[in-house]
Every structure is written in C-alpha cells, then in structure tokens.
Amino acid sequence: MIQLGVNIDHVATLRQARYRAQVHSPDWGEPDPVRAAHEAELGGADGITVHLREDRRHIQDRDVELLRRLVKVKLNLEMAATDEMVGIARKLGPHTAMLVPEGREEVTTEGGLDVAGQAARMKAVVSSLKGAGLIVSAFIDASPEQVKAAATAGFDVCEIHTGPYAEVFEQCGGDLRRPELLQALALVAEAGREIQALGMRFNAGHALNYHNVGPIAGLRGIEELHIGHAIVSRSVYVGVRAAVAEMKRLMVEHAGVDHT
C-alpha cells in the first residue's frame, strides 16, 4: 500500500518566526514540531520527514534528536551531502537519509540533486551512510541520466521531484486531457519505471497538495509520497491529525489508478 511521509519543517518555520534559535531555546518555542509529529502519526502518517539545513532556518538539532527518540514510524532526514550532515546522520541513525540540494537563498528546495555531476562525492557519501546502517535516498529530477547515476552511486531509493508536474497541473487546472499535463505526468512515470528496473524504490514529492496528488499516487510501483507544506497549511484550519488523515485517504483512493 502507498505510504505517506509527512514533512513537518514548516511547523518549525512558524516557531522560528517568533522564537529565533540564536535568542530563544526551541524547548519552549511554539508550535513544537515534535508534538506535530505525534499528531501526524495519529492521523495515519507512515513516516515523518525533516530537513536539517546548514543554516538551521527551521528544524533545529534538538528537534531531530527528540524525533529520533520519540517517533514511532519511519524518520526520514533530508540533508545536504556535507561532512557535518553526514556526521549527524551517522550519529543520529534515522531510518532514511535523503540527500537533497541546498541553497541559502531558496525558500524551499529548488530542483533535484545533481548526482551525475558529482558522482565520486555521491558514491562516497552513500557508502558512509550505508555503512552506518541507513537507507539512503536521492531527491532527483525525472531525468534518465540522474536515475542511472543514482543507481551507480548505490542509492536505495530515488524520490522524484514533482515540482514541475505540480506547476503544469496548476497552469492546466488539473485537466488531464491537456497534453502538457499528460507529458509532465509521463516524465515522472517513466523515471519511476527506470528506478524500479534498476532495483531501487520509487518515491515522489515536492509541491504535492490535495488537488494534484491523485495522479501521482496512481503511478505504478510508487511506494511513498513526501508531503509537507500542503498538510501544514491545511492543519491551520482542521488540525494536523485531520489534515494527515485527509491526505492519506486521497492517496489510497487513487493508488493503482494509473493516468499515464
């Protein structure tokens, strides 16, 4: 059955907007992403995702340490392929370490990781993380070159960046008769087939919401979706538990209904 990993970064974004880490201890700032993770679990989340950024703009070290101890489902740590983050991941021991590109000026992750362009570095980082017993994932664009490079580097999982699909979906109003939307969806589907053919797990995420998640959830062989901003936004109105449950229901309803 398709699984949902809930990204709670933006719960921490809201906290940091009021309680800056360099001034206040995150132990008493609110809302607490650790409490949000518990609510997400009760709503049906199969995993919790957090991105510990180099600049600590939202998730803090304290958060990931507590989450590793308290989360009852899978913990997925998004991270840059830096020596600092590799060391933290090896010590922390999340269930999955997902390597993502990281830029200081970006609001959120923009584009997939260039595995092909830094093959030697990726292979060394993957080896180090797998040596600590971690499942290692690559967040990549729907590119055959990047999929093959990820397999060569030894990644266990490829998560396809669905941002381009989400953008076209919005432009087309979700009309699956529009060739440009079908093409955007087909690119993700084709990448997924190649990922599976090379023996890796096929996941997807980025900019997925309650309107556009269905066609992605229906792709053949997809195992897990990572969704954050849409769920956190919805939770302002209905609460984290209900927002997660609603997203999970939509995913399960569409699973296996291939629109490509």
- State residue 122 phi and psi, 5-degree precision: -60, -40
Let me know if 24 is a catalytic residue: no
Let me know if 206 is a catalytic residue: yes
Choice among 51, 161, 226, 254 that is catalytic: 51
- State residue 74 phi and psi, 5-degree precision: -70, 140
Let me know if 51 is a catalytic residue: yes
* Rounded CA separation 236/60 (Å): 22
* Rounded CA separation 1/30 (Å): 34
* Rounded CA separation 89/64 (Å): 10
* Rounded CA separation 198/185 (Å): 20
User: Treating both helix axes as pointing N-terminal to C-terminal, what angle do 119-131 and 83-92 enclose, rounded to 10 degrees?
Assistant: 20
Choice among 10, 38, 41, 78 that is catalytic: 78
Tokens standing for residue 177: 């008769």
Active site residues: 51, 78, 206
